[in-house]
Structure 1
């Protein structure tokens, strides 16, 4: 379609207005939060923890919904919840030894039970036989060991009357329940999480997708969070493009650009915000006693590398048992991944996606004059052609060594000779140094 010349001044004015608006939006983000976003991208590896009273039933965090357990029956579970083996120091040390830089834990899931000391609801862990706040202990230990802590918070609630689960939405509110009261309740809890746990790095929302046509009042909720803690980061697992007020974009069970799980088909990938992929270590988020489909060390490492090559963090989930113990099958794999990260983490931490888009054989990452070529699958060709290298190549070596990798500069790229690299165990990394 052609544009008439008489409309060009109007279009130019609109473009200038849009540019000014974008600059104003960027300027409105305080430097503390911009710095927190960059630091978040640098971390690259985090631990996700789904833990609650549902762990008692050993059938995942959706057991109340999936088994159609009436709320009146399900709400008896807290009377039996006593995680006597929970040890915050052990959890945080496990994450740190795995090379993880942050933890995101469920403060309240879809079942409505709060895993922290809250005055906004009696349905919380202080009213169990345990009578202690594990999130307070975890926050204290994270600070001691230098790990950032995020709180997962469910927008969806299967049990609260004011939420009106399952009722039609009319004019932005459920026809049953009390939406104004529910919004006020969430604000009260978020205020507690951001003031009673002062070192919290951010909030990880989930559940919006249950009723996308309701007025969630995110402008109010996000403004409250950023007022209480200006450098707190906000993410929302709504499976769409990021909206104003959000600080990172997450992808559930998918790498950015993929849609194998069927959640990310409508999600435009942000070019401005940090990205995060969340995934499970078996097939479940919450503790599931019959789920033995554990990812191997190779799968975990390659998932982490693949995320970094797409400019994303990996948030890898464990579902602790009801007694507070994280299964040894998880802990052993994370320990092995941590050993690998100690040796090769320099090609992951602090990097951004490299010059080459993800390939069938692997990905690239970059940092400070280095492009790291991560070969995750043996390429079908040798030498390997890399197009459009970003500058004058000074040398190519096997990462972490002085062993050179032969190469030939050709028109529009470089040929890397892979002789001597051996089979791919987890990740063969070639370090390309540029002047």
Structure 2
């Protein structure tokens, strides 16, 4: 809905007040219309149980080896950037290898960039020729191959889709990025661009089987624009009622969304500065992070996080009741960097031994502490001690009596006392402390 203030000029103050009330009521009613389907609610439960997914940022930008923002960062005009797809020929792309890498890491779903901010489609789009099939020597639909392999292996597939588009002429007025250096005309039809976006989303939701969800990004480029979200979200829910909609807009969830995401931050944190006003809602949650510093392939980026850092981030996310979406940026030849495959394998080995304390859990009864977090499943609470050197750990009581306490790793008993004044005191021999995560399993009465 567009609200033209010029229509208000001849109306007196009372009339303005009445119109404002009517407008507000209509807006509230519109927001209350979305009611998730039973399939959607079931998918939300699955999503919360899944806990770990693979994020894939891959596009023609990988050819330049300078991340997915290279077009904007180097201010490459459209006419020049359009030459890059001719060099994109990922002959070593193997959908099965990608999915097997995710499975070996203990991941339950994959989220891949269908279209990033450069506007290039990584599927056989009929809406625009600016896509991998028509503009690259490779000429194959990688999303279709990946979707088929995910179905075979029981891995669910999400499509990342950018609201922002540095290539399309009707993305106008332009936002904070993709300026005049692109060479686009200083005009355009905004709703024509949104029609184009909805048409491409329709292709993704009708030609690739069951899609677990759509992961939007880029709205922050023009946060005050009329994005027509209710129409787009309704389209998605109509075409695939079970599909989950999430949006990386860095604010509280809008009506029609099914999960809330936090970029490079745990829920409620703002270390990046992206989310000064983002409040935690009631929807399922997800946090995303990179293995090194880059989302897309970056030849110079050697800042790879350690096994400990990555596993502890996964554990913390679970303690906050959130999934962890961990990113890789495949190389232009189609292979995932060896260093990233190795890190994912190590995470999978840890989850093979300790996944019971992560999968299917919810955030535990205690909020995050300096020493770690808690997760819970049924009558079991898992105390994840991530940073503690002493043999005694005192935690607050939450009103439930403990039946037993043991180390999850070897099932040996952990001595504990419950004190009305101090709370719960756990005694763990130093020799039993684990460098990454000492897990104490509490069974409640």
Same fold? TM cut 0.5? yes
Q: How does 1:104-253 map to 2 (within 5 A)?
A: 104-127=111-134, 128-164=136-172, 166=174, 176-253=187-264
Q: State the SS of the aligned residue for 2:432.
A: coil
- Tell me what 1:366 maps to: 376
Q: For residues 328-361 of structure 1, what are the alpha-carbon distances to aligned partners after superposition, in whole Å with 9 as ceiling and x for unaligned?
A: 0000010011000000000000000000000001
* CA drift at 1:401: 3.1
Label 1:26 to 1:382 Cα distance change in 2 as closer, same or farther (>3 A).
farther
Gaps of 5+ in 2: 1-24, 177-184
Q: How does 1:299-314 map to 2 (within 5 A)?
A: 299-314=309-324
For residue 394 of structure 1, the aligned residue among 395, 403, 411 is 403
Is the Cα contact below 8 Å between 2:391 and 2:430 reproduced in 1?
no
Q: For residues 134-174 of structure 1, what are the alpha-carbon distances to aligned partners after superposition, in whole Å with 9 as ceiling and x for unaligned?
A: 10000000111111100000000011111126369xxxxx9
Label 1:352 to 1:184 Cα distance change in 2 as closer, same or farther (>3 A).
same
For residue 392 of structure 2, the aligned residue among 377, 383, 397 is 383
TM-score, normalised to structure 2's length?
A: 0.89
2 CA distance for matches of 1:350 and 1:166? 43
Gaps of 5+ in 1: 1-17, 169-173
1 CA distance for matches of 2:430 and 2:308? 21
* CA drift at 1:420: 4.2
For residue 266 of structure 1, the aligned residue among 257, 274, 277 is 277
Are 1:93 and 2:103 an aligned pair? no
For residue 352 of structure 1, the aligned residue among 357, 362, 366 is 362
Q: State the SS of the aligned residue for 1:103.
A: strand
TM-score, normalised to structure 1's length?
A: 0.91
Q: How does 1:66-77 map to 2 (within 5 A)?
A: 66-77=73-84
2 CA distance for matches of 1:199 and 1:255? 29
* CA drift at 1:27: 8.5
Q: How does 1:418-433 map to 2 (within 5 A)?
A: 418-433=428-443
- Tell me what 2:46 maps to: 39
2 CA distance for matches of 1:343 and 1:405? 19
Is the Cα contact below 8 Å between 1:81 and 1:322 reproduced in 2?
yes
- Tell me what 1:14 maps to: none
Q: State the SS of the aligned residue for 2:323.
A: strand
2 CA distance for matches of 1:402 and 1:303? 24
2 CA distance for matches of 1:167 and 1:318? 27
Is the Cα contact below 8 Å between 1:167 and 1:176 reproduced in 2?
no
Q: State the SS of the aligned residue for 1:432.
A: strand
Q: How does 1:44-63 map to 2 (within 5 A)?
A: 44-63=51-70
Label 1:27 to 1:251 Cα distance change in 2 as closer, same or farther (>3 A).
closer
For residue 315 of structure 1, the aligned residue among 325, 336, 353 is 325
